[in-house]
A and B are shown apart, each in its own frame.
Chain A
């Protein structure tokens, strides 16, 4: 081959084909997928929590995309129905994830709605889930001799908090838990009455 213009233009044609297949066509098809009727926009606290989720790389171990029953037992694990594009209408950036070192979180707000549980679990996962390999996040909390007014004290099993101290949630931990509680796609995927999830 002797012609660099031919070479580069051929190469760019190849890339254009790939871009139209994987970027442009999906853009036309699902970019403006309307939110499903049951989906609520995030509140500002939930959005702040989502930033904490992103900053600490939760997505590298937790997916947010339960698959169809025919494909994998995601539903019987309690992770929820298979999601559709309209479930992600408010998600920017997307957090679909590629790993399940931990369980899928698309519906964690449904199966585990308790704030105290989430706070304690973030502080020390193994106190709540023996055998878990999730990191503990002590930097999202502070320890004090005595809680002040308005402090959210983390309730932990005996022996988990430093002796003589209380563990108090920082705002990031509270926001993160609000985001986790908001993860709920238990409404029907198809608009209309009497559709079971």
Chain B
């Protein structure tokens, strides 16, 4: 059959289907009312900030900044509903705390492994006596500790906290998720151990042996159960946009994982196509929706203002669900895979600009006139930067999929820099911000040293800027050198060396930032540091709720 005909018909068909689908989900697509966006607030709460990560004085300033923007002052928020929210928070506390502890432990493991791998690229004779420390293994340990440790533990922990709030229902069946998280972490320990020992399935992003993958699948299913229980027992009619992203991410991941890990099913070039279907979708249909859900919840909640356009968020969601799933083939441009598949992926990579633009415009409009809030709110600072990086990395990704640009960047460090812009600049920054918000709520303690939050922010921001600029430059020069047949291959290695060192330096600042974060987390947990005379809002509420 004619390739162009297949492509064109598939494209037209799916585009029409997408439009019909959105229309069926909500008639009156361009309706300007935004009732749905207000469900994250209690009656009378709009206009009131919620920023538990800030000290009391900063909270005052934040409220002041929001008030001067003048979107109508908050009346008295409905006390019963606030108490109910406090109960929802309390129902998740032990579980979320456990998942965050795991997330931070994996963050530190991943940081150490990543920095080691980075240094090895310019010091190739450093730490070579031990097989498990060789570049190919320690790099893979880094990737898996991020991909299956830090990101899912932080992201799912945040989902566990946010979903009961959004459904106005305490979390049901938290003990299943507890057991699931234990399984998950046990699987990851076994998986990293086997990679270190040289036993792996040989596919990028899917290295952990499938036998251990079974444990991941069981653990993941157990983690998903309470969210399903809570969803079907919810007390609200309307599902807020964050719920769509989080619920779908939880249903997408198992399908991706089971299809990809099925032993003996995939082979040769077909396996390569499947490999990048998985590799790109675990980013696009798991981490990205978890992080976007966090932005959609925390950004409006902190500044006390509903999302500007609820309809744009609808377009953003279904656009992402549709287009993102089909972009993976752009990892194989020029490779021995069917040409139509690569072309399809390039087209859909460009189409990703639509949901990304919808998200960006929406967040910008919501923040408009309230940018000074970034000064007072640590949560907002991390999440704001993260949101910007989402736009940046998505647009960059779309451009990289174009054949002309891909010819330079494919097979180079440029791609690695891009991957970090997405998974670090966007996803990890959003998770940092959300964790700063959540921890005071579930422990009923304030962050003891606000200066450490600032230090964390600037260390990871500065470090990551250096990391990204260095590695992007390295990759671009490397690509140009490789494309020029007149230059020997070794030129493409030599040009990267100064920038690889720059990347290690940037990475070292990032690691330092993570150590600050982890130390601050421990200080809060163990009750070190100054005790404020003014207890966190949550504690008062919780006491009220208990006596009511």
The answer on a CB contact under 8 Å between B273 and A26 is yes
The answer on a CB contact under 8 Å between A94 and B275 is yes
Chain B 238-265: CB-based contact to A (< 8 A → 1; otherwise 0): 1100001001100110011001000000
The answer on a CB contact under 8 Å between B137 and A57 is yes
**Secondary structure at chain B's binding surface: helix, strand, loop or mixed?**
helix
The answer on a CB contact under 8 Å between B232 and A4 is yes
A4–B131 Cα distance when bound, in Å, is 49
- Write the nearest CB–CB distance from B132 to chain A, whole angstroms: 9
Q: Which residues of B contact A22 (CB under 8 A)?
A: 273-274, 276-277, 325-326, 328-329, 341, 345
**Secondary structure at chain A's binding surface: helix, strand, loop or mixed?**
loop
The answer on a CB contact under 8 Å between A31 and B267 is yes
The answer, yes or no, to whether B81 is at the interface (CB within 8 Å) is no
Assuming the contacts A15-B255, A22-B341, asked whether A89 and B268 have C-beta atoms less than 8 A apart, the reply is: yes
Binding site for B on A (CB under 8 A): 1-2, 4, 6-8, 10-12, 14-15, 17-19, 21-23, 25-27, 29-31, 33, 54-61, 63, 65, 67-68, 71-73, 76-77, 82-85, 87-103, 125-126, 129, 131-139
The answer, yes or no, to whether B10 is at the interface (CB within 8 Å) is yes
The answer on a CB contact under 8 Å between B124 and A135 is yes
Assuming the contacts A21-B344, A22-B328, A55-B199, asked whether A11 and B321 have C-beta atoms less than 8 A apart, the reply is: yes
The answer on a CB contact under 8 Å between A68 and B21 is no
- Write the nearest CB–CB distance from A58 to chain B, whole angstroms: 6
The answer, yes or no, to whether B68 is at the interface (CB within 8 Å) is no
Contact for A57 among B140, B270, B318, B321, CB less than 8 A? B140
Number of CB contacts from chain A to chain B under 8 A? 247
The answer on a CB contact under 8 Å between A85 and B493 is no
The answer on a CB contact under 8 Å between B483 and A73 is yes
A83–B332 Cα distance when bound, in Å, is 12
- Write the nearest CB–CB distance from A156 to chain B, whole angstroms: 15
The answer, yes or no, to whether B411 is at the interface (CB within 8 Å) is yes
Q: Which residues of A contact B244 (CB under 8 A)?
A: 1, 7, 11
Assuming the contacts A11-B321, A33-B268, A59-B202, asked whether A137 and B134 have C-beta atoms less than 8 A apart, the reply is: yes
Contact for B318 among A10, A21, A135, CB less than 8 A? A10
The answer on a CB contact under 8 Å between B252 and A131 is no
Residue in chain B with minimal CB distance to A52: B198
The answer on a CB contact under 8 Å between B259 and A30 is no
The answer on a CB contact under 8 Å between A1 and B25 is yes
Q: Report, nearest first, the 7 A-B pairs whose CB atoms are least far apart.
A: A57-B136, A18-B325, A55-B198, A73-B485, A22-B277, A100-B411, A88-B268
Q: Which residues of B contact A76 (CB under 8 A)?
A: 485
Residue in chain B with minimal CB distance to A79: B489
Q: Which residues of A contact B329 (CB under 8 A)?
A: 22
The answer on a CB contact under 8 Å between A135 and B270 is no
Can you identify 27 A-B contacts, CB atoms within 8 angstroms?
A1-B26, A2-B238, A8-B247, A10-B318, A11-B321, A17-B325, A18-B325, A18-B326, A19-B255, A21-B341, A22-B325, A29-B270, A29-B338, A30-B269, A58-B136, A59-B204, A60-B204, A65-B332, A77-B489, A84-B336, A93-B201, A94-B272, A96-B269, A101-B493, A103-B489, A126-B124, A136-B124
